[in-house]
Amino acid sequence: MKALIPETGFRAVFCRELVRMARSRLLILVVFILPPLSFAFIAWFFSQGVLHSLPVAVLDQDNTQLSREIIRRMDATPGIRIHLSVSNFTEGRQTIQSGETYGLVIIPKNLEKDVLRGLAPNTVLYVNNTYMIAASLIMKDATMAMQSLSSGLELKSHMAEGRTRQAAIGHIQPIRVDVRVPFNPYANYFYFLAATLLPTMLHMFVITSAIYAFGSELARSTAAEWLEKAGGSPWLAVFAKIFPYTLIFCAWGLFMNAFLFRMGVPMEGSGMLLRLGTSSMVLAYQAVALFLVAVCANMRMALSLASFYASTAFAFVGVTFPAMGMPSAARIWGDLLPLTHYLRLFVDQTLRGAPVQASMDAFGSLWLFVILAGGTGLILMPGRMKNPAYWGRK
């Protein structure tokens, strides 16, 4: 077997790195074990996809046929489940504060009488907006239920006055809004969150493993041996060392995308561009890792900077909060993250079905990271590898 592996050159460094990887429990964990575990956990956590049956309390102070119809209609919506009936406002508020329910519906006294007299009484809805997604869904479904019921009552009133059904509908809503949702019409949170969290997890494993691979050579003072295996060529040493990680994480990236599509995420655009974009994200974060190690010449410092850089990324990529609503500094920081550009490409090619040209700026941005960060790292790294002053820094 040893006869098949040359003493120096690309293959020698490549095989040396495979041996180092196999002997490192940390690398085995980060490269082979955590990626599939994190994918499986996120997929399980968001497997329901669409939120439904969120518990809501009701305070019925009217106790009439109309109030019972309101309760029935709200309970029939996908997002609301009337969990319990309370006897007073304090009891209802306590159910929200304790987390037992997400909201409280109050049907005021004399509601039915006021409706019959032609008045417009209010049904009050309290929601716990600490949970913004749940609160928004409850408000949407409650509003739709009340609008449907109100329109039905008004329709009956106009038809009782002798109007035809069509004329009565036109009087109730002379101008209607025809809402059409071309992208993610299912309001499926798996498509929205899981499909962005999986790449977020992947990029953390990529940058961590790359920093450890490069930084450990300096920390353990094995850089001279590494360079010797490469025949004295620093660039060959870098490329051969990172190559096995590139192959493995590109494979994980392809598996991640196939897994997402298997779970129902639509693929409306170019699959080839998405595959190239996924591999480019891997290369971009490996380039950033090389840059951090070369600049810091200290594995611990590089890992600390990478943890800040990678762990905060999800807050700035424009998924949970629109980038156009962020302050300028936050938008600039988001643009300095390869994940931001990859997720734009991912959403464009999966949910939006955008033309290839629309995603080329995101694809090009990923390669800017490869060229600028990787190029800087390649310029600085030879000096770190050859100078013993940079060795042994833990």
Architecture (CATH level 2) of domain 54-172: 3-Layer(aba) Sandwich (3.40)
Low-confidence ranges of the chain (pLDDT < 50): 1
Distance (Å, whole) CA 104 – CA 89: 9
pLDDT, position 342 = 96
Q: How far apart are CA 331 and CA 322, in angstroms?
A: 10
Both tokens of residue 191? 């498509």
Give pTM, 2 decimals: 0.82
C-beta neighbour count of 124 within 10 angstroms = 11
User: Where in the chain is CATH 3.40.1710.10?
Assistant: 54-172
223 and 384 in contact (C-beta within 8 Å)?
Answer: yes
Rounded Cα distance, 195 and 93, in Å: 36
pLDDT the model gives residue 134: 87
pLDDT, residue 170, reads 55
Mean pLDDT, the chain, as a whole number?
88
For 321, other C-beta atoms within 10 Å of its C-beta total 12
pLDDT of residue 178: 61
Residue 260 has phi, psi (to 5 degrees) of -65, -40
The letter for the amino acid at 177 is V
